[in-house]
Structure 1
Amino acid sequence: MQPSVSAPFASDQQANGSSGRLLSLDFFRGLTVAAMVLVNNPGDWAHIYAPLEHAPWNGWTPTDLIFPFFLFIVGVSITFALDGKKAAGKGIVGKIVKRSLTLFLLGLFLNFFPKFDLTTVRILGVLQRIALVYLACSLIFLKTTSRQQFYILCGMLVGYYIVMTFVPVPGVGYANLEPETNMAAWFDRVILTPAHVYKPAKVWDPEGLLSTLPALCTGLLGILTGTWLRTNRPAAEKVAWLFAAGCLTTLCGLIWDGFFPINKALWTSSYVLLAGGLAMLGLALCYWLIDVKGGTASNYRRGVLPFVAFGVNAITVFFLSGLIPRVMNLIHITQLDGTEVGSKEYLYQNFIAPPFADPKNASLAGALIFVLIWFVILWWLYRKNVIIKV
């Protein structure tokens, strides 16, 4: 099973029209997805090392970079997948819409499972945001030039800043960036209603509607980066300019943080620039080391393949890594003291946690084992050349 050229999540991109894959993008995607699986599946949610947790509100941790890195990669991949199809018209648009709808429904299914309660189901989520960003970025890429994409990016970032910091929130009377009283939270309550948002937050959604607009900007940064990488300029020049752009973008994000705080839940404009700039730097490094310096050195390139295995089936592993633990928790096992626990918790308590004195180490070990299990599965699929298209 081979990926179609329009699949941005299992890339078959070409580097400068050559026959070789842009292996660095598959690697960067795989590294991001593996990190996503790691932070989403600790052995014990009560004991997690600080870098593996999200920032409570303003600020950021390494974990806060994972999701925007993935959206950035989606943008980069769009340029490789769709550039030759700009004149395809309704046919390619139909495929884009179908793929976006499939992603959105997969995310909605995860929210439904296992209760399937229409009255309280969360409507949005990670896969839903990926679907919306992919849809919007693909259509923008097909219908606009790079210059226009840059103007759209800047306009949306500034516009979101103005809305969030200057427009009074209805029912509150003033603009603010507090968790429950900001404009994005008000928008979620009005459109989604409190019954259909992220349950721990209760009255707002970290993947809400209004904050999806700046998330789209993260994808646009990826599109601009991908367009640059696809030029016929010398590799060293492409890396140098991308590295410079990454540094400048990161610096702009840090400066903007002074009056529009970096905040993942709100996906603030400063957060877009910080995460996007760091993603540029990460991809530039991967591109230089893997696709340029790696060259035909098969031993060197072979070392990146474990993460490439994650990258080419990214959505599959993300979806199943969220579904399988929920299924396991439905299977109850009775312990020696008569209490019942889900099979996942039972395995952790009885086989993973006991050797560790520190509960944080045990929790991390549980997450790493989960990632390792997925690596074995994905490596087998990769060796069999099985790529599951979404």
Structure 2
Amino acid sequence: MTETIFTKNPRLLSLDVFRGATIAFMILVNDPGDWGHIYAPLEHSEWNGCTPTDLVFPFFLFMVGVSIVYSMESKKENGAGHGKIILTALRRTVILLLITWSMQLILRWNFDLAHMRLPGVLPRIGLVYFICTIIYLKTSQKSRDWIFAGVLLGYYIIMTFIPVPGVGYPNLNPETNMGAWVDRLVFTTDHLWKSSKTWDPEGLLGTLPAIGTGLFGIRVGSWLKRKDRDDSVKVSWMFTYGVIAVVVALIWDLFFPINKALWTSSFVLYTGGLATIGLAICFWLIDVQGHKRFTYPFVVFGANAITAYVLAGFIPHYFNLIKIGGKSVYQTLFVPYLSPVNASLAGAILIVLILWLVMWVLYLRKIFVKI
């Protein structure tokens, strides 16, 4: 999902591994054998709260921020001006939008543009990447820290203090919060998440705090790239930043709940803190201590992430159409021999392995899709 947005040289192997592990987990939770039988940690929270599955998307946006630091510095060293960099970022954002909408049309074979969902995961990543690129190029780290604080506090005020038109009071319920009202106003109900048609988990207003997640990553990436600090000091402070962010998030959760669908400010701090801790562990083990033997399977995913994300939308769909004696591969291999929940998990693992094999072939042939 991210290699086109990210750095060429120098690369952080730990970042590729962290990205690859996140992609593998994304595929695992997105493609169970049976949606009716899933282990609880592999499902999204119904509303408030955070499961491991809820960490996937914010971890991606966090890594977008980290990688902006490396890729932008590399571009500036190569003589690219701000205008050229911003135009490139805009082009990539537009391509991500087109990929999203094309995938919807192709997978459904239903070219009903009047009811096509407009928000989504890749559109939000594209917008966050574009806006964070401009912020990174045009501001100092101190200014970015103020923007980060302003975004989180501003979103908190909007969601909890401003009355929702047509409702009369501020609230955090799925269909009647301010974000849902903005989405219906801008996109109309014909272009929102198909499961509700009244709100969207990747809605427009929620992109504001998502920018905060990207800025969190930029802060960590800027710290990692510093040459005047020892690696052990970097890791120590990353753990400190991460723990502080998680603690503040848990306190804020008491009156502004951690919620992925709303992308609440507490969710930004909680997931950003965990991502910082996770990256610190990877950085210390891989880039500092040199433990690289276990990294290869994850690098295969992480080095060609946009391809993995797109293929994850196609391969499971068509693989499930394969029949053996009138039954799907999942029903043939797993259902008769495992409990429902374990069969479902085994089906998801099989999809991960199939996608990994495809990515492995591309990796061996040095085929990396760029946009």
TM-score range (shorter-chain normalised) is over 0.9
Bigger shift: 92-101 or 42-51? 92-101
2:5 alignment partner in structure 1: 8
- In 1, the alpha carbon distance for the partners of 2:50 and 2:101 equals 27
The 1:138/1:352 distance shift into structure 2, 3 A limit, reads same
Q: If the length of structure 2 is used for normalisation, what is the TM-score?
A: 0.94
CA distance in 2, matches of 1:123, 1:165: 26
2:116 to 113, 118, 121: 121
Q: Which moved more, 1:139-148 or 1:266-275?
A: 139-148
The alpha-carbon deviation at position 22 of structure 1 amounts to 1.3
Q: Distance in 1 between matches of 2:335 and 2:155?
A: 45
Name the counterpart of 2:253: 257
Q: Which residue of structure 2 aligns with residue 105 of structure 1?
A: 98
Gaps of 5+ in 2: none
Aligned to 2:334: 352
Secondary structure in 2 aligned to 1:354? Answer: coil
Q: Please state if 1:301 is matched with 2:296.
A: no
Given residue 389 of structure 1, which amino acid in structure 2 is its aligned partner? K
In structure 2, give the amino acid aligned to 1:325. Answer: P
* Structure 1 residue 91 corresponds to structure 2 residue 84: yes
**Mapped contact 1:54–1:64 kept (Cα < 8 A):** yes
Residue 302 of structure 1: SS of its match in structure 2?
coil
Q: Cα 1:125–1:371, aligned 2, differ >3 Å: closer, same or farther? A: same
Q: What is the alpha-carbon root mean square deviation over aligned residues?
A: 1.8
| d(CA) in 2 for partners of 1:369, 1:325 | 10
Q: Does 1:377 align with 2:355?
A: no
- Residue aligning to 2:316: 325
Secondary structure in 1 matching 2:328: helix
* Counterpart secondary structure, 2:173: coil
Per-residue displacement from partner, 1:303-325 (whole Å, max 9, x unpaired)? 11110111011111111111233
Q: State yes or no: 1:51 paired with 2:41.
A: yes
Do 1:206 and 1:266's aligned partners in 2 also have CA atoms closer than 8 Å?
Answer: yes
Indicate if the aligned counterparts of 1:111 and 1:123 stay in contact, CA closer than 8 A.
no
Structure 2 vs 1, CA of residues 350 and 143 (structure 1 numbering), >3 Å: closer, same or farther?
Answer: same
Whole-angstrom CA distance in 1 between matches of 2:170 and 2:203: 18
Contact map agreement 1:53 1:63 (CA 8 A) in 2 = yes
Report the Cα distance in structure 2 between the residues aligned to 1:68 and 1:350, rounded to whole angstroms: 36
- Equivalent residue of 2:210, what SS? helix
Aligned mates of 2:9, 2:39 — CA distance in 1: 36
Structure-1 separation of matches of 2:292 and 2:215: 29
Residue from 141, 144, 147 that aligns with 1:152: 147
- The letter for the 2-side match of 1:314 is A
1:352–1:366 contact (8 Å) kept in structure 2: yes
Report the secondary structure of 1:224's partner residue.
Answer: helix
State the one-letter code of the partner of 1:117: D
Hey, what's the Cα distance between the residues in 1 that align with 2:191 and 2:71?
34
Q: Does 1:166 align with 2:188?
A: no
Residue by residue over 1:217-251, the C-alpha shift from the partner in whole angstroms, topping out at 9 and shown as x without a partner, is: 10110011000000011100111111101111111
Kindly report which structure 2 residues correspond to 1:183-262, keeping only aligned pairs within 5 A, or say none.
183-232=178-227, 233-262=229-258
The code of the aligned residue for 2:178 comes to M
For residues 231 and 124 of structure 2, the distance between their equivalents in structure 1, rounded to whole angstroms, comes to 33
Does 2:173 correspond to 1:182?
A: no
Kindly provide the amino acid, as one letter, of the partner of residue 7 in structure 1. T
Q: Distance in 2 between matches of 1:214 and 1:78?
A: 18
Give, as a single letter, the amino acid of the residue that structure 2 aligns with 1:218: T
| Secondary structure class of the residue paired with 1:119 | helix
**% identical aligned pairs:** 53
Retained in 1: the 8 A contact 2:89–2:133?
Answer: yes
Tell me by how many angstroms 1:95 deviates: 1.1
The amino acid of 1:382's aligned partner reads Y
Instruction: Give me the whole-angstrom Cα distance separating, in 1, the residues matched to 2:299 and 2:75.
Output: 26
Distance in 1 of aligned mates of 2:27 and 2:323: 25
Give 3-state SS (helix, strand or coil) of 1:54's partner. coil
Q: Kindly indicate whether the alpha-carbon contact (under 8 Å) linking 1:7 and 1:81 is maintained by their aligned counterparts in 2.
A: no
Relative to structure 1, the CA distance from residue 44 to residue 151 in structure 2 (aligned partners, 3 Å threshold; closer, same or farther) is same
AA matched with 1:189: R
Distance in 1 between residues matched to 2:9 and 2:215, nearest whole Å: 18
Correspondence for 2:61: 71
Superposition deviation, residue 112 in structure 1 = 2.4
The structural deviation recorded for 1:333 is: 5.6
CA separation in 2, counterparts of 1:116 and 1:368? 32
| Contact 1:108-1:124 at 8 Å conserved across structures | no
* Paired residue type of 1:99: R
The Cα of 1:349 is off from its aligned counterpart by 1.5
Give unpaired runs (5+ residues) of structure 1. 15-20, 295-299, 337-344
Q: Report the Cα distance in structure 2 between the residues aligned to 1:214 and 1:316, rounded to whole angstroms.
A: 27
* Cα gap change, 1:138 to 1:193, in 2 (>3 Å): same
Given that 1:108 and 1:128 are in contact with CA atoms closer than 8 Å, whether structure 2 keeps it comes out as no
Q: What is the distance in 2 between the residues matched to 1:37 and 1:379?
A: 15
Secondary structure of the structure 1 residue equivalent to 2:260: coil
* Match among 299, 306, 309 for residue 315 of structure 1: 306
